[in-house]
């Protein structure tokens, strides 16, 4: 696997793009849970559904299988990541509400 060679400028641009996306997602989270009446669980469901749809679109676009790179010995790690990721997202969403 090749290492990514990022210059200072490209790293700064990447970090700023991340911060812009983070601010937008935080504002949407706050708007939906505080002012639009969505519960934390509903917002988390919508977020997971959107992640699933965008991931499916990317797989179709790149003509890849969802099991590409998957090995059975990673199943436990995948399940733990799924549970921990959703639990963390639910807690962060609850904080913004």
What is the residue whose two structure tokens read 């919508």?
A: 46
Q: Is the pLDDT of residue 96 over 70?
A: no
Within-domain flag for 2: no
Residue 21: which domain range?
Answer: 8-96
Domain count, the chain: 1
* Cα(34)–Cα(45) distance, integer angstroms: 16
Within-domain flag for 60: yes
pLDDT tier at 72, thresholds 50, 70, 90: confident
Q: Which of 16-20, 22-26, 64-68 has maximum average pLDDT?
A: 16-20
pTM score of the predicted model: 0.57
Beta strands of the chain (E only): which ranges? none
| Cβ atoms of residues 55 and 65 within 8 Å | no
pLDDT, tens digit, for every residue of 29-69? 888 888 888 888 888 888 888 888 888 888 888 888 877 77
What is the residue whose two structure tokens read 């970090």?
A: 15
Within-domain flag for 26: yes
Six-digit token pair at 48? 């997971």
* Cα(96)–Cα(33) distance, integer angstroms: 8
Query: What average pLDDT does range 11-26 have in this prediction?
Result: 84
């Amino acid at each position: 696997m090749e290492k990514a060679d990022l210059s200072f400028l490209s790293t700064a641009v990447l970090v700023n793009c991340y911060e812009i996306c983070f601010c937008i997602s935080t504002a949407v989270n706050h708007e939906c849970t505080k002012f639009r009446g969505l519960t934390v669980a509903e917002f988390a469901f919508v977020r997971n559904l959107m992640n699933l749809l965008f991931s499916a679109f990317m797989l179709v676009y790149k003509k890849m299988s969802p099991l590409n790179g998957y090995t059975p010995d990673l199943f436990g790690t995948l399940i733990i990541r799924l549970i921990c990721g959703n639990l963390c997202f639910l807690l962060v969403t609850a904080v913004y509400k």
